[in-house]
Amino acid sequence: MSTPLLAQRLAADPRINQAKELLLAALAEQQQAITGVKPADPARKQSYDELLAQFTASRGGPLYFPYLGSGIGRGPLVELADGSIKYDFITGIGVHFLGHSHHALVAAAIDAALSDTIMQGNLQQNVPAVHLSRSLIQHANTSGAKLDHCFLSTSGAMANENALKLALQKKSPASRVLAFENCFMGRTFVLSQITDRPQYREGLPTVLPVDYVPYFDPANPAESTANAVRILKRHIARYPGQHAVMPMELVVGEGGYTAGSREFFLAIIEVLKAHHIAVYVDEVQTFGRLTRLYGFQAFGLDEHVDIVTIGKLSQVCATLFTDEYKPRPGLISQTFTGATASIAAGQVIIDELTGGDYYGDNGRIDKLHQYFTGKLDAIASRQPGQVRGPYGMGGMIAFTPFAGTADDAKKVVLALFDAGVISFVAGSSPARVRFLMPMAAVTEADIDAVTAILETTLATLAQA
């Protein structure tokens, strides 16, 4: 039997566990005061406004919300530096799936702080990076997928960049990309070329040709599927052999939380496979939020996927791919794979999700989805014209406020923030209010409190 490593001796030192227990006890003691929405402390207004002004100047533009966290929260509730406490129902656009100040994440971060490197990367990675990669691969392949490789990265954008490079290298000299209308992939130089928001690439030269295909319309499933296939085939015929890949969101995120159907995606995939075009599923937002860990599993697309990207709730993002898309040396590399604390947190989150009762038709995510959407339906019946929908799947929920203009959605989101609920906008025509709940921390009582605030806020805006 080999002698324990020094790092193993350190981890087993009883003083480490004692210190963690003391720290977590102190955290729990302060969390007891976080019980619900609380207004800002007037005495902190001037200093808080000064901080916001300083940050606006530093970053060259204002924050969307006047949000500066104090550094503590409790599940779906978070304290801001102005003394207010709010319900966080957008979770940093889907990042804080376990909620705020989750004790297991704090413990993992403490362990990571003792693990030598702050940031892992291309030349120096610790053992936990191996375990996280293998865990993501194992869970991806439970239903017939063959995603044999996993490349970690610091952001969803980098995961998507790596995915595109894998596909383009494999399919070279093909250089065109297919994408769904109203898609969002990111704001990097290349990804802004695909994201269907012209304003996000204003002033930038075109470096990647993209051909758009209409997305699924739940109101007209057969017609929209046939139309999408027809236009897809037209693009391919117009540029024979020139398309390398088609990234696809299974539930469009920024596009308004419209979900596709299995039949729709299979119809698209059949055409792509017939023309040797890579099937790439962008799960940076859907990962972990539907009825299976991976969205492609929830839609039964396992045997068809070539490349998959994940992010947000996983803390460290990743590109998974089949052996066919294994890159040649030098194509992808990361000086920054991710912070050691992020990698440790990612493993805790994956273990929580796969070891809990989150998935399936009667899992926690499905139950909370049904409960929240039921509350939105009730508001719509009591206050006609103020809520249309709801839309989305699993932990991705949205509704169209009033007439669905961009101004309507923004007014509701900002008014909710002032009232103690953090949400965000999605889509453009119509514009919607969206929620990404901390599914591991939220309760039905929290949803009751949030929807009560929402109903009051909508009524007030309707009278304005």
- Pairing of the two strands 85-88 and 421-422: parallel
Residues 126 and 296 sit within 8 Å (Cβ to Cβ): no
Looking at the predicted structure, is the pLDDT value of residue 169 above 90? yes
Q: What is the DSSP letter of 82?
A: T
CA distance 94 to 96: 6
CA distance 90 to 85: 15
Q: How many CA atoms are closer than 13 Å to the CA of 420, on its beta-carbon side?
A: 22
Looking at the predicted structure, is the pLDDT value of residue 428 above 90? no
DSSP state letters, 172-215: TT--EEEEETT----SSTTHHHHSS-GGGGTTPPP-S-EEEEPP
* Average pLDDT, integer, range 429-436: 95
Supply the mean pLDDT for the chain: 96
Percent of the chain topping pLDDT 70: 100
Looking at the predicted structure, is the pLDDT value of residue 255 above 90? no
* Whole-structure pTM value: 0.96
pLDDT in the model for residue 429:
85
- Which tokens is 446 given? 């929290």
What is the tens place of the pLDDT at every residue in 292-302? 999 999 999 99
CA distance 201 to 421: 31
pLDDT in the model for residue 253:
84
